[in-house]
Structure 1
Amino acid sequence: MLQPTLTDVASFAPASAPFVDEPDGVGIVGMPMNFVTTAGVHEQAGTLFDLPVTVRFTPTSYRFIYGDGTSRDSATGGRTWAELGRAQFSATDTSHAYAARGTYTATATVRYAAQANFGNGWIDVPGLLEIPAGATTLQIVDVKTALVDKTCLENPRGPGC
Structure 2
Amino acid sequence: MRLTLSAVLVASTLLAAVPSSTQCNDVGTWTSTCVENTGTEVNVGASTGSGGGGSQNGDAPRGSGSESVGDAEPAEPDCVVELRRCDINYQVEAPPEVTIEDLASFRPAVPQLGGDPAGFGVVGMPTNVYASATAQEIPGEILGWDVVVRFEPAAYVFSYGDGTTARSSSGGSSWSALGQPQFTPTATSHVYAERGVYPVSVTVEYTAAVTFGSTWRPVPGVVTSSAGGYAVDVRAVRTALVDRTCQEDPGGPGC
TM-score w.r.t. length of structure 2: 0.59
**Aligned residue runs from structure 1 range 10-21, under 5 A:** 10-21=104-115
The question of 1:96 aligning with 2:199 is answered no
Number of aligned residue pairs: give it.
160
> Please, which runs of 5 or more residues in structure 2 have no aligned partner?
1-94
In 1, are the aligned partners of 2:199 and 2:228 still within 8 Å (CA)? Answer: no
Matched residue type, 1:48 = I
**Aligned residue runs from structure 1 range 47-66, under 5 A:** 47-66=141-160
Q: CA deviation at 1:134?
A: 2.6
Q: CA deviation at 1:156?
A: 8.5
> Please, which runs of 5 or more residues in structure 1 have no aligned partner?
none
Indicate the percent of aligned positions where both proteins have the same amino acid.
44
Distance 1:24 1:152 in 2: 23
Kindly provide the CA deviation profile for residues 125-156 of structure 1, in whole angstroms up to 9, marking residues without a partner as x: 111112113331111001111123x2168888
Match of 1:107 among 201, 223, 226: 201
Distance 2:250 2:163 in 1: 43
Partner of 1:41: 135
Q: For residues 32 and 42 of structure 1, do their structure 2 counterparts lie closer, same or farther at Cα, with a shift above 3 Å needed?
A: same
Distance 1:2 1:113 in 2: 19
Partner of 2:162: 68
Partner of 1:151: 244
In 2, are the aligned partners of 1:27 and 1:33 still within 8 Å (CA)? Answer: yes
Distance 1:126 1:35 in 2: 30
Structure of higher CA gyration radius? 2
Q: For residues 135 and 155 of structure 1, do their structure 2 counterparts lie closer, same or farther at Cα, with a shift above 3 Å needed?
A: closer
The alignment partner of 1:63 has SS state of strand
Higher strand share: 1
Match of 2:123 among 23, 26, 29: 29
The question of 1:9 aligning with 2:89 is answered no
TM-score w.r.t. length of structure 1: 0.91
Partner of 1:84: 178
The question of 1:119 aligning with 2:209 is answered no
Partner of 2:37: none
